[in-house]
């Protein structure tokens, strides 16, 4: 089974359960769509790192990449507007550690690395036994946000997963079957 097939098969269920309710993701994407400055938002360098990690996990193939559908902006809204100050600070510190891992392992910022070098950095983090230690803790949270954001984005739901966001549709001129009318009582009595 191809990675994309596996993600497609499990993505919808995982995406809809990640925050507890689909409307939470809809609210996040609605905030992304409205744009504007995000109070306490992530820096351009942090968003570049998030975008590079996102596109390493979900690159453009016959489907859009994570950055094609706006996942870094989704992560920014979640972290900047929904996390506590303590959680946001821990997340940003974890991003710094992921960046430091890339610089130590490959000599450059993660976003500047070739795809194979990015994959090596990610593989080294994923291979760590303790997911609660940094930078693994931040990486696994980021990966969850990336996958959730990707599979709840409108383009992916409509074009990749083929999910009707609003099931059914209104057809005001839908044909109605014609039935023969029967009088009350089943038509057994005739009045003269």
What pLDDT does 13 receive? Answer: 45
User: What residues of the chain score a pLDDT lower than 50?
Assistant: 1, 5-22
Tens digit of each residue's pLDDT (9 = 90 or more) over 39-90 = 668 999 999 999 999 999 999 999 999 999 999 999 999 998 888 999 999 9
Q: What is the dihedral of CA 96, 91, 144, 66, to 10 degrees?
A: -50
Residue (of 165, 159, 141) closest to 68 by Cα position: 159
Residue (of 145, 144, 139, 151) closest to 10 by Cα position: 151
Task: Name every residue whose Cβ is closer than 8 Å to that of residue 25 and which is 6 or more positions away in sequence.
Answer: 15, 16, 18, 19, 148, 149, 152
Note the pTM of the prediction, 2 decimals: 0.72
What pLDDT does 177 receive? Answer: 75
Number of separate helices (H) and strands (E) present in the chain: 8, 0
- Tallying the residues shown for the chain, one arrives at 192
Q: Are 64 and 103 in contact (CB under 8 A)?
A: no
> What single-letter DSSP state applies at residue 43?
P
What pLDDT does 51 receive? Answer: 97
CB count, 10 Å around CB of 124? Answer: 14
Pair of tokens at residue 70: 């706006």
């Amino acid at each position: 089974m191809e990675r994309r097939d596996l993600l497609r098969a499990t993505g919808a269920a995982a995406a809809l359960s990640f925050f507890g309710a689909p409307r939470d993701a809809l609210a996040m994407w609605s905030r992304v769509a409205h744009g504007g400055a995000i109070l306490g938002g992530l820096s351009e360098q942090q968003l570049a790192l998030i975008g590079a990690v996102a596109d390493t996990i979900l690159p453009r193939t016959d489907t859009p990449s994570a950055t094609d559908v706006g996942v870094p902006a989704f992560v920014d809204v979640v972290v900047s507007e929904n996390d506590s100050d303590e959680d946001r600070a821990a997340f940003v510190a974890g991003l710094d550690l992921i960046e430091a891992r890339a610089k130590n392992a490959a000599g450059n910022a993660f976003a500047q690395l070739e795809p194979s070098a990015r994959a090596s950095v990610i593989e080294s983090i994923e291979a760590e036994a303790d997911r609660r230690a940094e930078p693994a803790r931040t990486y696994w949270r980021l990966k969850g946000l990336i996958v959730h954001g990707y599979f709840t984005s409108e383009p992916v739901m409509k074009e990749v997963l083929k999910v009707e966001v609003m099931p059914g549709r209104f057809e005001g001129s839908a044909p109605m079957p014609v039935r023969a009318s029967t009088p009350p009582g089943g038509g057994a009595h005739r009045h003269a």
